[in-house]
Amino acid sequence: MLAPRKEKFRKQFRGKRRGNAARGITIAFGDFGLQATTRGWVSGRQIEAARKKITFMTKRAGKYWVRIFPSKPITKKPVGVKMGSGKGAVEEHVAVVRPGMMLFELSGVTEEVAREAFRKAGHKLSVHTAFIEK
């Protein structure tokens, strides 16, 4: 599961997710890209599941890039705990995704293979995605 090696602060505020992505919105490395069309949090588990689906669909041909990283800690209190008594423990790490952000890139495969791999990988993510060509 993806998570940062080291954090300056253990817990963060939830933050706002409004607006569109300003950086990481173009295809920088590959020939095809998977771009987010909606906003949300994408967990490290979801990123890993999508990454595995891409490698499976491409039969490890070509090269892929993961353009997002889950660097935001999300806390959760145990079930049945009463309100109050502070913030919960860190449950998982998520990547904040805004519309327009490039999530994955792929090169060295045909367009049909890339389109199908990204379609199936998109089902693993909690945001809606679109297939983009360079």
Domain count, the chain: 1
Q: Does some domain include residue 11? A: no
Residue 69 is predicted with a pLDDT of: 98
Q: Does some domain include residue 126? A: yes
68: domain CATH number?
3.90.1170.10
pLDDT in tens, 95-109: 999 999 999 999 999
Q: Is the pLDDT of residue 122 over 90?
A: yes
Average confidence (pLDDT) over 83-92: 96
Domain that holds residue 47: 34-78+87-133
pLDDT in tens, 17-36: 999 999 999 999 999 999 99
Residue 75 is predicted with a pLDDT of: 97
Q: Does some domain include residue 107? A: yes
Residue 16 is predicted with a pLDDT of: 94
Q: Is the pLDDT of residue 1 over 90?
A: no
Checking 23-29 for CB contacts under 8 A at 24+ apart, the result is 24/67, 24/68, 24/101, 24/102, 25/100, 25/101, 25/102, 26/102, 27/102, 27/105, 27/132, 27/133, 27/134, 28/67, 28/102, 28/105, 29/65, 29/105, 29/107
Q: Does some domain include residue 43? A: yes
What percent of the chain is predicted at pLDDT more than 70?
A: 100
Q: Does some domain include residue 114? A: yes
Q: What distance in Å separates the CA atoms of residue 46 and residue 44, rounded to the nearest whole number?
A: 5
pLDDT in tens, 43-75: 999 999 999 999 999 999 999 999 999 999 999
pTM higher than the cut 0.85:
yes
